[in-house]
Amino acid sequence: MKAKINWHYSRSDIAQTIIDLFSSESTHAITVFAPRRMGKTELLLEDLWPLAKKRGYDVRYASFWMDKSNPKAVFLDAISSNSQDQTTVKARIGVGGTFVEATSHGAPKESDVNIKEIKEEFVKLCRGKKKVLLLLDEVQQLAIREQDETFVAALRTLLDTNKGKVCVVFTGSSREGLLKMFKKQKAPLFNFSHQLDLPELGSEFVNHMLGAFKQASGKTIKLAPSIRVFTALNRVPAQFHDLLRAMLINGRQDIEQALKEYKMSSGENQAFLNMWDTLKPLDKQVLINIANDEENLFSEVGRQSIANNLGLPEISKSSLQKSISRLKDAALIESFQRGRYEFSELAFRDFVHHK
Protein backbone atom coordinates (compact mmCIF):
# COMPACT_ATOMS: atom_id res chain seq x y z
CA MET A 1 0.00 0.00 0.00
CA LYS A 2 1.28 3.45 -0.92
CA ALA A 3 2.36 5.58 2.04
CA LYS A 4 0.12 8.48 2.99
CA ILE A 5 1.25 11.72 1.38
CA ASN A 6 2.14 14.42 3.88
CA TRP A 7 0.86 17.62 2.27
CA HIS A 8 0.85 19.45 5.60
CA TYR A 9 3.58 22.06 5.93
CA SER A 10 4.23 22.32 9.64
CA ARG A 11 4.41 25.66 11.38
CA SER A 12 5.49 24.05 14.61
CA ASP A 13 7.73 27.01 15.46
CA ILE A 14 4.71 29.33 15.67
CA ALA A 15 2.72 26.77 17.65
CA GLN A 16 5.66 26.34 20.04
CA THR A 17 5.96 30.10 20.53
CA ILE A 18 2.26 30.39 21.37
CA ILE A 19 2.28 27.51 23.85
CA ASP A 20 5.48 28.79 25.50
CA LEU A 21 3.89 32.23 25.97
CA PHE A 22 0.86 30.64 27.59
CA SER A 23 2.85 28.23 29.75
CA SER A 24 5.09 31.02 31.06
CA GLU A 25 1.95 33.10 31.73
CA SER A 26 3.38 35.90 29.62
CA THR A 27 -0.09 36.26 28.12
CA HIS A 28 -3.37 34.38 28.16
CA ALA A 29 -4.75 35.53 24.79
CA ILE A 30 -3.24 35.77 21.31
CA THR A 31 -4.85 36.83 18.05
CA VAL A 32 -3.45 35.30 14.85
CA PHE A 33 -4.19 37.46 11.79
CA ALA A 34 -3.92 36.52 8.12
CA PRO A 35 -6.19 36.85 5.08
CA ARG A 36 -8.43 33.92 4.25
CA ARG A 37 -6.91 30.70 2.87
CA MET A 38 -3.47 31.48 4.31
CA GLY A 39 -3.51 28.50 6.69
CA LYS A 40 -4.81 29.82 10.01
CA THR A 41 -7.20 26.93 10.61
CA GLU A 42 -4.57 24.40 9.63
CA LEU A 43 -2.17 25.96 12.11
CA LEU A 44 -4.77 25.56 14.84
CA LEU A 45 -5.79 21.99 14.05
CA GLU A 46 -2.59 20.43 12.72
CA ASP A 47 0.11 22.19 14.74
CA LEU A 48 -1.27 23.96 17.79
CA TRP A 49 -3.88 21.45 18.93
CA PRO A 50 -1.56 18.37 19.00
CA LEU A 51 1.22 20.32 20.75
CA ALA A 52 -1.18 21.75 23.33
CA LYS A 53 -2.54 18.28 24.11
CA LYS A 54 1.01 17.00 24.63
CA ARG A 55 1.58 19.88 27.03
CA GLY A 56 -1.51 18.89 29.03
CA TYR A 57 -4.17 21.31 27.77
CA ASP A 58 -7.85 20.52 27.28
CA VAL A 59 -8.29 21.95 23.76
CA ARG A 60 -11.62 23.22 22.41
CA TYR A 61 -12.27 24.57 18.91
CA ALA A 62 -15.03 26.80 17.52
CA SER A 63 -15.35 28.49 14.13
CA PHE A 64 -17.62 31.50 13.74
CA TRP A 65 -17.19 31.65 9.95
CA MET A 66 -19.58 29.13 8.47
CA ASP A 67 -22.37 29.51 11.03
CA LYS A 68 -22.40 33.28 11.21
CA SER A 69 -25.93 33.61 12.59
CA ASN A 70 -25.38 31.15 15.43
CA PRO A 71 -22.30 32.21 17.45
CA LYS A 72 -23.66 31.40 20.89
CA ALA A 73 -24.62 27.91 19.80
CA VAL A 74 -21.26 27.34 18.12
CA PHE A 75 -19.41 28.39 21.26
CA LEU A 76 -21.65 26.29 23.52
CA ASP A 77 -21.03 23.29 21.28
CA ALA A 78 -17.28 23.76 21.71
CA ILE A 79 -17.23 24.10 25.50
CA SER A 80 -19.93 21.56 26.35
CA SER A 81 -19.12 18.69 28.68
CA ASN A 82 -19.16 16.27 25.72
CA SER A 83 -15.41 16.33 25.10
CA GLN A 84 -14.29 17.44 21.66
CA ASP A 85 -12.05 15.06 19.77
CA GLN A 86 -9.66 16.51 17.18
CA THR A 87 -10.49 13.81 14.64
CA THR A 88 -14.22 14.43 15.06
CA VAL A 89 -13.80 18.19 14.72
CA LYS A 90 -11.66 17.81 11.59
CA ALA A 91 -14.22 15.46 10.06
CA ARG A 92 -17.03 17.82 11.01
CA ILE A 93 -15.45 20.80 9.29
CA GLY A 94 -14.49 18.80 6.22
CA VAL A 95 -10.72 18.65 6.54
CA GLY A 96 -9.76 16.46 3.62
CA GLY A 97 -6.39 18.02 2.90
CA THR A 98 -4.77 21.22 4.01
CA PHE A 99 -5.53 24.93 4.26
CA VAL A 100 -9.13 24.27 5.17
CA GLU A 101 -12.13 26.51 5.55
CA ALA A 102 -13.73 25.70 8.87
CA THR A 103 -17.33 25.30 9.91
CA SER A 104 -19.26 23.73 12.73
CA HIS A 105 -22.40 21.62 12.62
CA GLY A 106 -24.51 19.91 15.22
CA ALA A 107 -24.78 22.94 17.49
CA PRO A 108 -28.19 23.74 18.99
CA LYS A 109 -30.35 26.44 17.47
CA GLU A 110 -29.53 29.97 18.61
CA SER A 111 -33.02 30.41 20.04
CA ASP A 112 -32.29 27.48 22.38
CA VAL A 113 -29.12 29.06 23.78
CA ASN A 114 -28.88 31.70 26.49
CA ILE A 115 -25.94 33.34 28.23
CA LYS A 116 -26.74 31.58 31.52
CA GLU A 117 -26.34 28.18 29.86
CA ILE A 118 -23.00 29.24 28.34
CA LYS A 119 -21.77 30.42 31.73
CA GLU A 120 -22.77 27.14 33.37
CA GLU A 121 -20.93 25.07 30.78
CA PHE A 122 -17.90 27.34 30.99
CA VAL A 123 -17.75 26.88 34.77
CA LYS A 124 -17.90 23.09 34.30
CA LEU A 125 -15.06 23.29 31.80
CA CYS A 126 -12.92 25.31 34.18
CA ARG A 127 -13.45 22.80 37.00
CA GLY A 128 -11.50 20.18 35.07
CA LYS A 129 -7.99 19.21 36.10
CA LYS A 130 -6.38 20.45 32.89
CA LYS A 131 -5.73 23.99 31.75
CA VAL A 132 -8.07 24.94 28.90
CA LEU A 133 -7.04 26.23 25.47
CA LEU A 134 -9.82 27.75 23.39
CA LEU A 135 -9.22 28.01 19.64
CA LEU A 136 -11.74 30.57 18.35
CA ASP A 137 -11.58 30.82 14.56
CA GLU A 138 -12.67 33.86 12.48
CA VAL A 139 -13.72 35.78 15.57
CA GLN A 140 -14.27 39.04 13.67
CA GLN A 141 -17.68 37.64 12.71
CA LEU A 142 -18.83 38.53 16.22
CA ALA A 143 -18.45 42.24 15.42
CA ILE A 144 -21.03 42.26 12.63
CA ARG A 145 -24.38 41.85 14.38
CA GLU A 146 -25.58 44.10 17.19
CA GLN A 147 -27.42 41.18 18.80
CA ASP A 148 -24.07 39.47 19.45
CA GLU A 149 -22.76 42.28 21.67
CA THR A 150 -24.20 40.74 24.83
CA PHE A 151 -22.52 37.43 24.03
CA VAL A 152 -19.18 39.11 23.30
CA ALA A 153 -19.35 41.05 26.58
CA ALA A 154 -20.11 37.81 28.44
CA LEU A 155 -17.25 36.06 26.65
CA ARG A 156 -14.87 38.83 27.65
CA THR A 157 -15.96 38.52 31.29
CA LEU A 158 -15.62 34.72 31.30
CA LEU A 159 -12.14 34.85 29.79
CA ASP A 160 -11.01 37.75 31.97
CA THR A 161 -12.12 36.12 35.22
CA ASN A 162 -10.53 32.78 34.37
CA LYS A 163 -7.10 33.91 33.13
CA GLY A 164 -5.34 31.41 35.36
CA LYS A 165 -7.32 28.51 33.91
CA VAL A 166 -8.16 29.43 30.31
CA CYS A 167 -5.97 30.55 27.42
CA VAL A 168 -7.40 31.56 24.08
CA VAL A 169 -6.21 31.91 20.50
CA PHE A 170 -8.40 34.09 18.31
CA THR A 171 -7.97 34.08 14.54
CA GLY A 172 -9.18 36.67 12.08
CA SER A 173 -9.03 37.25 8.34
CA SER A 174 -10.28 40.84 8.43
CA ARG A 175 -8.04 43.35 10.16
CA GLU A 176 -10.84 45.92 10.18
CA GLY A 177 -13.21 43.34 11.60
CA LEU A 178 -10.75 42.48 14.36
CA LEU A 179 -10.36 46.14 15.28
CA LYS A 180 -14.13 46.46 15.51
CA MET A 181 -14.26 43.30 17.56
CA PHE A 182 -11.72 44.45 20.10
CA LYS A 183 -12.76 48.10 20.34
CA LYS A 184 -16.55 48.00 20.41
CA GLN A 185 -17.82 50.14 23.25
CA LYS A 186 -20.78 47.94 24.14
CA ALA A 187 -18.90 44.66 23.90
CA PRO A 188 -15.26 45.48 24.50
CA LEU A 189 -12.37 43.12 24.02
CA PHE A 190 -10.02 46.10 23.83
CA ASN A 191 -6.48 45.44 25.07
CA PHE A 192 -7.48 41.86 25.79
CA SER A 193 -5.28 40.08 23.28
CA HIS A 194 -1.82 40.38 21.75
CA GLN A 195 -1.75 40.18 17.94
CA LEU A 196 0.48 37.86 15.95
CA ASP A 197 0.55 38.29 12.16
CA LEU A 198 0.89 34.92 10.45
CA PRO A 199 4.06 35.18 8.33
CA GLU A 200 3.84 34.61 4.59
CA LEU A 201 5.20 31.30 3.37
CA GLY A 202 8.12 31.16 0.98
CA SER A 203 10.42 28.81 -0.91
CA GLU A 204 10.60 26.25 1.91
CA PHE A 205 6.84 25.76 1.71
CA VAL A 206 6.98 25.47 -2.09
CA ASN A 207 9.78 22.91 -1.85
CA HIS A 208 7.82 20.86 0.68
CA MET A 209 4.73 20.82 -1.55
CA LEU A 210 6.80 19.80 -4.58
CA GLY A 211 8.20 16.94 -2.52
CA ALA A 212 4.69 15.79 -1.67
CA PHE A 213 3.71 16.05 -5.34
CA LYS A 214 6.69 13.91 -6.37
CA GLN A 215 5.82 11.35 -3.72
CA ALA A 216 2.25 11.20 -5.03
CA SER A 217 3.00 11.23 -8.77
CA GLY A 218 6.60 10.22 -9.22
CA LYS A 219 7.11 13.41 -11.24
CA THR A 220 9.47 16.29 -10.49
CA ILE A 221 8.51 19.94 -10.82
CA LYS A 222 11.30 22.53 -10.95
CA LEU A 223 11.56 24.86 -7.96
CA ALA A 224 12.23 28.20 -9.73
CA PRO A 225 9.07 28.27 -11.88
CA SER A 226 7.09 26.95 -8.92
CA ILE A 227 8.18 29.92 -6.82
CA ARG A 228 7.12 32.24 -9.64
CA VAL A 229 3.72 30.55 -9.76
CA PHE A 230 3.33 30.76 -5.98
CA THR A 231 4.09 34.49 -6.20
CA ALA A 232 1.55 34.87 -9.02
CA LEU A 233 -1.00 33.28 -6.71
CA ASN A 234 -0.26 36.02 -4.15
CA ARG A 235 1.49 33.44 -1.96
CA VAL A 236 -1.86 31.93 -0.98
CA PRO A 237 -0.94 28.39 0.11
CA ALA A 238 -4.45 26.99 -0.36
CA GLN A 239 -4.48 28.01 -4.02
CA PHE A 240 -1.01 26.55 -4.59
CA HIS A 241 -2.18 23.28 -3.08
CA ASP A 242 -5.31 23.36 -5.25
CA LEU A 243 -3.13 23.86 -8.34
CA LEU A 244 -0.88 20.91 -7.48
CA ARG A 245 -3.94 18.75 -6.83
CA ALA A 246 -5.31 19.67 -10.27
CA MET A 247 -1.93 18.85 -11.82
CA LEU A 248 -1.90 15.51 -10.05
CA ILE A 249 -5.39 14.62 -11.27
CA ASN A 250 -4.72 15.74 -14.85
CA GLY A 251 -1.20 14.33 -15.11
CA ARG A 252 0.45 17.73 -15.65
CA GLN A 253 4.10 18.57 -14.98
CA ASP A 254 4.57 22.05 -16.48
CA ILE A 255 3.45 24.20 -13.56
CA GLU A 256 3.38 27.52 -15.43
CA GLN A 257 1.14 26.09 -18.15
CA ALA A 258 -0.93 24.40 -15.46
CA LEU A 259 -1.43 27.80 -13.78
CA LYS A 260 -3.03 29.16 -16.96
CA GLU A 261 -5.36 26.15 -17.11
CA TYR A 262 -6.11 26.44 -13.40
CA LYS A 263 -7.12 30.09 -13.67
CA MET A 264 -9.43 29.28 -16.56
CA SER A 265 -11.04 26.25 -14.92
CA SER A 266 -11.18 27.28 -11.28
CA GLY A 267 -14.22 29.48 -11.79
CA GLU A 268 -12.63 32.25 -9.76
CA ASN A 269 -12.30 34.59 -12.72
CA GLN A 270 -15.91 33.99 -13.72
CA ALA A 271 -17.01 34.66 -10.16
CA PHE A 272 -15.12 37.95 -10.24
CA LEU A 273 -16.73 38.84 -13.57
CA ASN A 274 -20.16 38.08 -12.16
CA MET A 275 -19.42 40.24 -9.14
CA TRP A 276 -18.04 43.04 -11.33
CA ASP A 277 -21.20 43.10 -13.44
CA THR A 278 -23.35 43.74 -10.37
CA LEU A 279 -21.40 46.83 -9.29
CA LYS A 280 -22.38 50.43 -9.95
CA PRO A 281 -20.03 52.42 -12.25
CA LEU A 282 -18.86 54.55 -9.32
CA ASP A 283 -18.05 51.46 -7.25
CA LYS A 284 -16.05 50.00 -10.13
CA GLN A 285 -14.02 53.17 -10.52
CA VAL A 286 -13.35 53.39 -6.79
CA LEU A 287 -12.03 49.82 -6.85
CA ILE A 288 -9.83 50.63 -9.85
CA ASN A 289 -8.35 53.63 -8.03
CA ILE A 290 -7.68 51.53 -4.93
CA ALA A 291 -6.11 48.76 -7.03
CA ASN A 292 -3.83 51.36 -8.60
CA ASP A 293 -2.74 52.49 -5.12
CA GLU A 294 -4.22 55.94 -5.56
CA GLU A 295 -4.47 57.59 -2.14
CA ASN A 296 -6.61 60.43 -0.77
CA LEU A 297 -9.77 59.35 -2.56
CA PHE A 298 -11.76 61.96 -0.66
CA SER A 299 -9.47 64.85 -1.57
CA GLU A 300 -10.57 67.25 -4.29
CA VAL A 301 -7.93 65.80 -6.63
CA GLY A 302 -8.97 62.23 -5.83
CA ARG A 303 -12.67 62.87 -6.36
CA GLN A 304 -12.01 64.77 -9.59
CA SER A 305 -9.91 61.87 -10.88
CA ILE A 306 -12.82 59.50 -10.30
CA ALA A 307 -15.27 61.94 -11.88
CA ASN A 308 -13.07 62.39 -14.97
CA ASN A 309 -12.83 58.64 -15.50
CA LEU A 310 -16.61 58.39 -15.29
CA GLY A 311 -17.16 61.35 -17.60
CA LEU A 312 -18.86 63.35 -14.86
CA PRO A 313 -18.28 66.97 -13.80
CA GLU A 314 -17.75 66.04 -10.14
CA ILE A 315 -18.28 63.45 -7.42
CA SER A 316 -19.49 64.57 -4.00
CA LYS A 317 -17.95 63.29 -0.77
CA SER A 318 -21.31 61.83 0.25
CA SER A 319 -21.59 59.84 -3.01
CA LEU A 320 -18.06 58.56 -2.54
CA GLN A 321 -18.76 57.60 1.06
CA LYS A 322 -21.86 55.65 0.01
CA SER A 323 -19.77 53.82 -2.56
CA ILE A 324 -17.13 52.93 0.03
CA SER A 325 -19.88 51.68 2.36
CA ARG A 326 -21.38 49.49 -0.37
CA LEU A 327 -17.98 47.96 -1.12
CA LYS A 328 -17.36 47.29 2.57
CA ASP A 329 -20.79 45.76 3.01
CA ALA A 330 -20.03 43.46 0.08
CA ALA A 331 -16.75 42.48 1.83
CA LEU A 332 -14.72 43.62 -1.17
CA ILE A 333 -12.58 46.15 0.68
CA GLU A 334 -11.73 47.03 4.25
CA SER A 335 -9.98 49.81 6.10
CA PHE A 336 -8.01 49.58 9.31
CA GLN A 337 -6.36 52.98 8.90
CA ARG A 338 -8.31 56.15 8.20
CA GLY A 339 -8.39 56.97 4.50
CA ARG A 340 -6.55 53.81 3.39
CA TYR A 341 -8.38 50.90 1.82
CA GLU A 342 -7.33 47.36 0.99
CA PHE A 343 -8.92 44.54 -0.95
CA SER A 344 -10.26 41.69 1.15
CA GLU A 345 -8.96 39.24 -1.47
CA LEU A 346 -5.66 39.79 -3.24
CA ALA A 347 -6.84 37.81 -6.26
CA PHE A 348 -9.73 40.22 -6.73
CA ARG A 349 -7.30 43.14 -6.52
CA ASP A 350 -5.32 41.58 -9.39
CA PHE A 351 -8.52 41.14 -11.36
CA VAL A 352 -9.48 44.81 -10.87
CA HIS A 353 -5.93 46.00 -11.58
CA HIS A 354 -6.18 44.63 -15.11
CA LYS A 355 -9.45 46.43 -15.79
Q: CATH number for the domain including 317?
A: 1.10.10.10
pLDDT at 43 over 70: yes
Mean pLDDT is highest, among 62-71, 198-207, 296-305, for 198-207
Average pLDDT over residues 164-176: 85
Q: Are residues 244 and 95 in the same domain?
A: no
Q: Are residues 214 and 186 in the same domain?
A: no
Q: Are residues 246 and 325 in the same domain?
A: no
Q: pLDDT value at position 350?
A: 83
Which one-letter DSSP state was computed for residue 113? -
Q: Are residues 23 and 150 in the same domain?
A: yes
pLDDT at 80 over 60: yes
Single-letter amino acid, residue 73: A
Q: Are residues 46 and 86 in the same domain?
A: yes
Average pLDDT over residues 104-126: 72
pLDDT at 108 over 90: no
Q: Are residues 222 and 318 in the same domain?
A: no
Q: pLDDT value at position 96?
A: 46
Beta strand pairing status for 333-337 and 340-343? antiparallel
Residue 3 lies in a domain: no
Domain that residue 215 falls in: 203-266
Chain segment 199-256, per-residue pLDDT in tens? 999 999 999 999 999 999 999 999 999 999 999 998 999 999 999 999 999 999 999 9
Residue 173 lies in a domain: yes
For residue 82, the SS3 value is coil
Contacts of 57 (CB under 8 A, 6+ apart): 130, 131, 132, 133, 167
Average pLDDT over residues 83-90: 69
**How big is the chain by its Cα radius of gyration, in Å?**
22
Residue 311 lies in a domain: yes
Split into its structural domains, the chain has a count of: 3
Q: Full-prediction pTM beyond 0.85?
A: no
